[in-house]
Structure 1
Amino acid sequence: MNFFGKMLLIISILYCMPSAGSIKNYAPPEKVPKYILKLLHNHKYDQAINELRNILSKSRDREDSLKMLPILAKCFIAGKEWDSAAVIYKKLSEIDAHYKEWWESLYNIVIGPEYGYKPVHLPKTINSPQNEILPVISSDGKELFFIVENIKTKNQDIYYSKKDKTGRWVKRMPLTTLNTKYSDGVLGIFNNGNALLLLGQYKDDGTKTPGFSISKRINGKWSKPENIKIKGYKTKSKFVSATISNDGNIIIIALDRKEGYGNLDLYYLKRNPDGSYGPPVNLGPDINTPGNDGTPFLASDGVTLYFSSDGHPNLGNGDMFVTRRLDDSWTKWEKPKNLGKELNTIFWDAYYTIQSDGRNAYFSSSGYGTYGGTDIFYVSIPESLRPRFRLVLHGKVVDEKNNPLVANIKYFDKKTKSILANMSSDKNGLFDIPTQSNNVYLLSVTADGYDSLKMDIDLRITPADTPYTVNIVLKKKKIPPVLKQNLIHFDFDKYDIRPQDEDILLGLIQILNTYPEIKAKIIGHTDSVGYRSYNKKLSIKRAKAVKNWLVAHGISEERIICEGMGEKMPIADNGTAEGMAMNRRAEIILIREEK
């Protein structure tokens, strides 16, 4: 249908409309009929409009004709014919007083600016004829977790993919260590990419119960999930979505509860000192509506929240929105802003997730021409819709020989003393902290066996969107040159540890636990009584006796070196009883292990 034909159709409907205030029991946009929806999904927009024209030509009821208008507007939106859709929404806002604000909001969306969205369909190494939903991207954008849902059985499993050296996504793989015969999913990634928030609680018998759990990346592998305790957790809906802050202190979750504002509402949970989470607290009416508000994603700035909603004015079957927290209460938010006519479709759009730099996002949609059901797409984010941290602090932690270190990183607002990030550097010593300019921060870095380091990060003169890099060198803790007492003595011809010497060994254990890079060298000695060959064996037994005592008290045997010197190295005169007693000993030497 050409432009004039479309406009003639619109005018013919508008002409037969009732006057303002005469519409009774009218509701916001109804669902698009399935056969028309199928035409739109296949990009047959003109055919869908013709079908509507046929319906309208047979209808003699003005109110029935009127109810087709929102569906017609959706057809125009699907074809990106914003002006035609705007004409309809403008007229609806004039004649429907009850939903005036709703229609005006949709009108403003379709006449609004075009941000230049160009969603990219991820390749078949990730998407398939099944449903791919809930993408979770790592902070560096090189690792993607998502759910693959079988369209027929509705079974959900966790899959992941990584980018190769050329920046292409490799073939997806199931995360078998975390998948069960029940519904599984990664809801969020935090602690610099070293922890996952998981759907459900894993039981020892292989079953799962409602709730959440956490898996940690240890030596490159995901650990057995640890179940999260949440006070007062309950929901009437099987639909579960959540997001977690970068430091793990806040979880935002979609729940269907009796005391909510509608069906699904968004709530926040705050972590307690013991690792459990407090009771769900509703985010409030600024966000939640009588409809469904879900699929939250909290950006790394800890302020910007993305979510999907069919209760706020939306173009389709639930649009994506952005809002920002106004204070520290988690219940006061800016008025949610629709992400716009280019990104949101008339279909289902949800699960907006962003890299830590705030520039790029991944989301699920069934409205862009998929391989079957719902697929995952990628898009660059316009400046106005990005998180507010504006820049990312890139850091690397190394030792004095430039070897990377896994260290604990804490990032504070220097003025308020509030902690903004608590994470670990990865095995390469790298970490990223999204932050804001025009402020001064405090960075605290600690690692076992190294002196801690604190430094100011002054970003008051750093231009926005400018990468800020900091290199951190940690110095090894100074090792005591020797123990206050480093000799263990033995009775004549014996090699068992005497009770009076155990305090010396306990002091050694304390040092070894404090300085994990230290090894202990134990050298056994004897007096001059007996054959040299016998004394050599006895000195080795004395060194091993010390080693065995330390191992029995928790020290790894790999950190202990044994040697026997026999009678060759006396420290006193073997001609006296006192001298021989001093020579019957094991000497302890502390050795710093060099990398």
Structure 2
Amino acid sequence: MVKGLIKTFVLLFLTWASFAQEVQWASKVLEKSSETVDEKFSPKHRAIQVLGPPSVLPQTISSACSWRPTGTSFGEDYIKVAFDKPQKVKQIIVGETVGPGAVGRIFGYTTKNKEVLLYESQGDNFRKQPGIWNQFIPETEEEIAALKLVIVHSLNKGIKEYDCIGISSSSEPYVATVNVAQNLPKDLKKENLGPSVNTKYSEVAPLVSPDGKYLYFSRWDHPKNFKPAGSNESTLDVWVSTLAANGTWEPAKNMSTSIHHSAKNGAATIAMDGKSIYALNVEVGRGKFDAGLTKVSLKNNKWVNKRPIKIANFEALSYYNSQDRQLKKETEFSMSSDEKFLVMGLVRKDSYGDKDLYVSFKTGEDSYSKPVNLGPVINTAGNEGSPFLAADNKTLYFNSNGHPGYGDMDIFMSTRLDDTWTNWTEPVNLGPQINSPEFDGYISIPASGEYAYFSSAKNSMGLDDLFKVKLFPSIQPESVVLMEFSFVDEISGQSIEPKVSISPQVEWVWDEETKIFKTIFQPGQTYELKAESSGYPSFSQSLDFREVKEYLEKKEVYKWRKIGQESIAQTAPKTVNAEPESVKDMVIEAGKKIVLREVYFDQSKAELRQESFVELDRIKKIMMEHPDMVILLEGHTDNQGDANLNFKLAEQRILNVKNYLIEDGQIKEERIQLKSWGQYRPLVKNTTEEERRKNRRVEFTILKM
């Protein structure tokens, strides 16, 4: 990581020290003989890289996150580091990532700056392999406040790099580990998306729409890719697949027009409506392109309405990519689902090393603020890229070679803690089932947070293929509400496009083809949806998501009567023959049946949630208006868990509904019949979370009037 840059890191080091085998890591560089410095005078390979816990180990690779003295074969180098809290020492820990065995002497310094020789090499280079070196010594008589390592280059000639320096009073050797996500399932497997999406060519960088219905990706060198006349360049085009009703992806299509009319047309990130994407690069002249972002929309199998995204003070500098061993200008982007935040990976003058992650905030139509560095918890002297910001606008996925991992670039997750965008949880590695010894990155997750889509060459049909993997709880983003709503004239049935506002402020998009508004709500509060349209009364609808704990998809069609025609906007069925969303919309006659969609329970619990009472009070009112009415309540669950427990859960839920209806004595108990089905009568398959959500239900049937 980027170490030694800010004093607040001392607290982080102390926390780590108390947890990780009683190790206290160096917190300040006091002296050094030399350090490798690049032309930007960046933190790469500087002496500060030995501060804090390991940034590279247990991997033993050359890294910008290690101190590299300038000497190689002759003479000596040294570094002197301080520790926040003086202590007696039994164990000295040195992270040697390149050129092990060259530490000739180690001196300790007491609180009175008395020098004590703690270790001296006998001249034989006994450490042949890089890694953590645990040097045990007799416990010091006095507390040690600082250490000085003397590097004798003749002990092991060549480049040397050091990841960390620590001290401990423990007799247990410190072992470097990867900070892996908790409760990693042992049977986690990635699923190939199959021949409708994958080919013998290379499919990379998947982008799944927030609703999970569109999948965009980039494909290399396919014969149908756009290729300028006379060009011998490799080609890259954006392809798209749509999700079929049976849950499989339809054959991917290339658009009839290219985005930039060049050999390289890559998709960077996706828009909220699922029908627009942000493509890499902007056109700066006829046939000339530069780093940036261009928004385009998909309509009638063509890319239309192309416009550049304006980012204040935007710069993308070239850097030396150690993997490709060449100078490159790389940019990577992730647009938040509500399009308020733009996260990007690029090199700027204030970057800590190679690519860093930044965020810009929306300032107007297609315009964003000056990028803000996400800070040293996320960014390191190494390379951070392929960002993906989940729909909760808090959970960030990215890849990095500056945090301990398993390969060249691993995928990590971190959670934003406040609105500064510089305060994050310590990144966790997604584990060896997702990360490999090679490059891993470009993850994409729909708003449901159920699956992650990514590209990999391992177990592919050709070169790189697209895969999905089910996310386990510790790496899932927080739940959100995905809502689609529209307005129609109640008399004519024609669509209305009113002026819409939502408070607290929430961004939304309008789909011209479907006449539907789309937006994403963060749970935990109540929102007010307002609409205005000429000739219609003002519309206001309260949306209470305070108790939402799981991902929720909500669809509403509001019908509106013009002024003078009972001017009340109300929820309408989606089609003439569609099942009503509420008992207030159903036809009251024997044999009618609906799913009580506004009766809610917490997952695996039978207690009614408070927002259910409005719908249940409607049922009570209807039954009181029809004193001979007899109803049937049927309880259903999904197929997750034990079948007997599911049966009992469904039974208890409908019993709680019945008890609510009869508790004040106005409805007689014998007018309500119950039937529990558990998991045995699903409406749809139980293969996805959305399907399982539909199967968890209470059904209401009027038996007699």
Identify whether the pair has TM-score above 0.5, normalized to the shorter chain: yes
Larger Rg, first or second structure (1 or 2): 1
Residue 364 of structure 2 aligns to a residue in which SS?
A: coil
TM-score normalised to the size of structure 1? 0.59
Question: Of 144, 167, 173, which residue of structure 1 is paired with 2:247?
Answer: 167
CA deviation after TM superposition for structure 1 residue 432, in Å: 4.7
Structure 1 residue 257: Cα displacement: 2.1
Query: What SS does structure 2 have at the residue aligned with 1:213?
Result: strand
Asked whether the 8 Å contact 2:178–2:405 carries over to 1, the reply is: no
For 1:434 and 1:387, locate their aligned partners in 2 and report how far apart those are by CA, in whole Å: 14
For 2:429 and 2:350, the matched residues in 1 are separated by 26
- Please state how far the C-alpha of 1:473 moved relative to its aligned partner: 2.4
Q: Quote the offset at 1:260 in angstroms.
A: 0.8
Secondary structure of 1:232's match?
coil
1:211 CA drift (Å): 1.4
Cα offsets for 1:426-478 (capped at 9, x unmatched)? 63344554434331112234567765533211122445345444432244578
Q: Is the 8 A contact 2:181 2:475 kept in 1?
A: no
1:294 CA displacement: 0.6
Q: Deviations over 1:279-299 (max 9, x none)?
A: 221111121111111101111
| Distance in 2, Cα, partners of 1:387 & 1:160 | 25
**Partner Cα distance (2:404, 2:525) in 1:** 37
Give the corresponding residue for 1:492: none
Instruction: Write the mapping of 1:234-383 to structure 2, written as runs, cut at 5 A.
Output: 234-237=315-318, 238-273=329-364, 275-366=366-457, 368-383=458-473
Q: Is the 8 A contact 1:286 1:334 kept in 2?
A: yes
Partner residue in 2 for 1:471: 557
1:157 and 2:228 aligned: no
Say which of 184, 205, 211 aligns to 2:286: 205
Name the structure 1 match of 2:165: 98
Match of 2:219 in 1: 148
Change (3 A) 1:233 1:133: same
Aligned counterparts of 1:448 and 1:227: Cα–Cα separation in 2: 33
Q: Which residue in the other structure is 1:189 paired with? A: 270
Q: C-alpha displacement at 1:218, in angstroms?
A: 5.4
SS of the residue 2:211 aligns to: coil
Q: Distance in 2 between matches of 1:379 and 1:309?
A: 20
SS at match of 2:330: coil
Contact 1:408–1:423 (CA<8 Å) still a contact in 2? no
CA distance in structure 1 between the aligned counterparts of 2:292 and 2:384, rounded to whole angstroms: 19
Higher strand share: 2
Matches within 5 A, 1:476-491: 476=562
Whole-Å Cα distance in 1 between the matches of residues 539 and 207 of structure 2?
A: 32
Deviation at 1:319, TM superposition (A): 1.2
Amino acid in structure 1 at the alignment position of 2:332: S
Alpha-carbon contact 1:405-1:425 (below 8 Å) kept: no
The separation in 2 between residues aligned to 1:352 and 1:430, in whole angstroms, is: 28
Q: Distance in 2 between matches of 1:260 and 1:63?
A: 35
Is the 2:488–2:559 contact (alpha carbons within 8 Å) kept by the matching residues of 1?
yes
Task: Please give the alpha-carbon distance, in whole angstroms, between the structure 1 residues aligned to 2:488 and 2:512.
Answer: 11
**Quick one: structure 1 residues 450 and 285, their matched pair in 2 at CA, closer, same or farther if it must change by over 3 Å?**
farther
2:568 is the counterpart of 1:457:
no
The 8 Å contact of residues 217 and 223 in structure 1, kept in 2 or not, is answered as yes
Is residue 114 from structure 1 mapped to residue 185 from structure 2 by the alignment? Answer: yes
Please state if 1:215 is matched with 2:296.
Answer: yes
Name the CA distance, whole Å, in 2 between partners of 1:431 and 1:99: 56
Cα distance in 2 for residues equivalent to 1:31 and 1:448:
66
Q: C-alpha distance in 2, partners of 1:256/1:410?
A: 37
Residue 389 (structure 1) aligns with: 479
Whole-Å separation in 1 of the counterparts to 2:534 and 2:277: 24
- Is 1:135 the equivalent of 2:135? no
Residues 338-377 of structure 1: per-residue CA shift (max 9 Å, x gap):
22232222222111111122212211223x3223432211
Letter of the 2:467 counterpart: F
Summarize the Cα distance change of 1:460–1:163 in structure 2 as closer, same or farther, 3 Å threshold. Answer: closer
> How do 1:387-536 residues align onto structure 2 when only pairs under 5 Å count?
387-400=477-490, 401-405=492-496, 410-413=501-504, 419-425=505-511, 427-445=513-531, 453-476=539-562
CA 1:459–1:365 in structure 2 vs 1: closer, same or farther (change >3 Å)? same
Q: Deviations over 1:512-533 (max 9, x none)?
A: xxxxxxxxxxxxxxxxxxxxxx
1:519 matched residue in structure 2: none
> Is the contact made by 1:196 and 1:216 (CA closer than 8 Å) also made in structure 2?
yes
**SS state at 2:393 partner:** coil
**Cα contact 1:398–1:429 (8 A) shared by 2:** no
2:204 maps to a residue whose letter is I
- The answer for unaligned runs of 5 or more in structure 1 is 1-20, 33-59, 70-94, 414-418, 480-595
1:63-74, aligned counterparts within 5 Å? 63-66=127-130
Say if 2:181 and 2:429, in contact at 8 Å, map to a contact too: no
Name the SS of the counterpart of 1:420 in structure 2: coil
Matched to 1:174, the amino acid is N
Q: Does the CA-based 8 Å contact 2:407-2:438 persist in structure 1?
A: yes
**Residue identity in the other structure for 1:337:** V
Distance, in Å, in 1 between the alignment partners of 2:301 and 2:560 is: 24
2:357 is aligned with what amino acid?
L
Structure 1 residues 40-64: Cα deviation after superposition (integer angstroms, max 9, x where no partner): xxxxxxxxxxxxxxxxxxxx97533
CA distances 1:141-179 after superposition (whole Å, capped 9, x unpaired): 221111113499543221112233433323322233415
- TM-aligned CA distance change 1:205 to 1:466, over 3 Å: closer
Are the counterparts in 2 of residues 397 and 425 from structure 1 also a CA contact under 8 Å? no
Q: What is the one-letter code of the residue matched to 2:471?
A: I
RMSD of the TM alignment (CA)? 3.6
Aligned residues: 397
One-letter amino acid of the counterpart of residue 128, structure 1: T
Residue 327 of structure 1, CA deviation? 1.7
**1:273/1:340 CA distance change after superposition, 3 Å:** same
Q: Residues 409 and 330 (structure 1 numbering): CA distance in 2 closer, same or farther, change over 3 Å?
A: farther
Equivalent residue number for residue 151 of structure 2 = none
Deviations 1:180-212 (A, max 9, x none): 324221212223224321111135634322211
Residues in 1 aligned to 2:408 and 2:386: alpha-carbon distance in whole angstroms: 14
SS state at 1:333 partner: coil
Letter in 2 for 1:133: V
Q: Is the 8 A contact 1:263 1:292 kept in 2?
A: yes
Relative distance call for 1:457 and 1:318 in structure 2 (3 A) is same
When you count helix as a share of all residues, which structure comes out higher?
Answer: 1
SS where residue 384 of structure 1 aligns? helix
**Closer/same/farther in 2, CA of residues 448 and 288 from structure 1, 3 Å limit:** farther
SS in structure 1 opposite 2:368? coil
Q: 1:110 to 1:269 in 2, by over 3 A?
A: closer
